[in-house]
């Protein structure tokens, strides 16, 4: 699970992150905090996810315990290679399709996604505009994982049924 909020006051974020950490530990799931190293440390998260304009990966590694995962958002093959070379534990790659949350980034499409998955050796997480109508196309690109947000917000039970029907 990734905790991401770009607008909430930091004190409230810490409160929620601590609750999420408790729940994820109880459920045997991992918790990653988007962007904020301090929140990840304070709530005992399993890792942090950094964007291209966040703290550089090398600086984050110096501040974080060795066991904490560090993921990096990438939007191209060159960024994916750079993140892997810099020591990222995994990369997010996208947006695969158009999405209002990444309106400033053009969709990379399935061909770039396939190329990145075949090129880097670290886990890859496809993200951006993935929903119940197109996620099956993403599953055959070779990526390690798929991240979806809106599809679950709109119809969580229906989305779980659809995924289970496709992936068995």
Task: Judge whether 41 and 62 are in contact, CB under 8 Å.
Answer: no
Task: Choose, from 61, 102, 114, 150, the residue flagged as catalytic.
Answer: 102
73 is catalytic: yes
Task: Choose, from 4, 18, 81, 162, the residue flagged as catalytic.
Answer: 4
Distances (CA, A) of 126 to 23, 28, 73, 115: 25, 23, 10, 12
161 is catalytic: no
Which run of H or of E encompasses 35? none
What is the C-alpha end-to-end distance of the chain, expressed in Å? 22
Task: Judge whether 47 and 68 are in contact, CB under 8 Å.
Answer: yes
102 is catalytic: yes
Question: What is the DSSP secondary structure assignment for residue 146, as one 8-state letter?
Answer: E
Task: Judge whether 91 and 80 are in contact, CB under 8 Å.
Answer: yes
Report d(CA 7, CA 49) in Å as an integer: 17
Report d(CA 23, CA 29) in Å as an integer: 8
Question: What is the DSSP secondary structure assignment for residue 91, as one 8-state letter?
Answer: E
> Which of the residues are catalytic?
4, 73, 102
């Amino acid at each position: 699970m990734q905790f991401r909020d770009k607008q909430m006051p930091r004190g409230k974020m810490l409160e929620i992150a601590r609750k999420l950490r408790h729940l994820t530990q109880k459920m045997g799931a991992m918790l990653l905090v988007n962007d904020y190293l301090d929140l990840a440390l304070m709530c005992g998260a399993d890792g942090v996810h950094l964007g291209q304009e966040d703290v550089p990966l090398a600086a984050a590694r110096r501040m974080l315990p060795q066991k904490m995962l560090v993921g990096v958002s990438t939007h191209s093959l060159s960024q994916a290679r750079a993140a892997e070379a810099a020591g990222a534990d995994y990369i997010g790659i996208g947006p695969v399709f158009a999405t209002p949350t990444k309106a400033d980034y053009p969709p990379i499409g399935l061909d770039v996604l396939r190329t990145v998955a075949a090129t880097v050796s670290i886990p890859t997480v496809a993200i951006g505009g993935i929903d119940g109508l197109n996620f099956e196309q993403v599953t055959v690109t070779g990526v390690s994982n798929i991240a979806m947000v809106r599809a679950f917000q709109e119809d969580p039970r229906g989305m779980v049924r659809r995924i289970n029907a496709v992936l068995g």
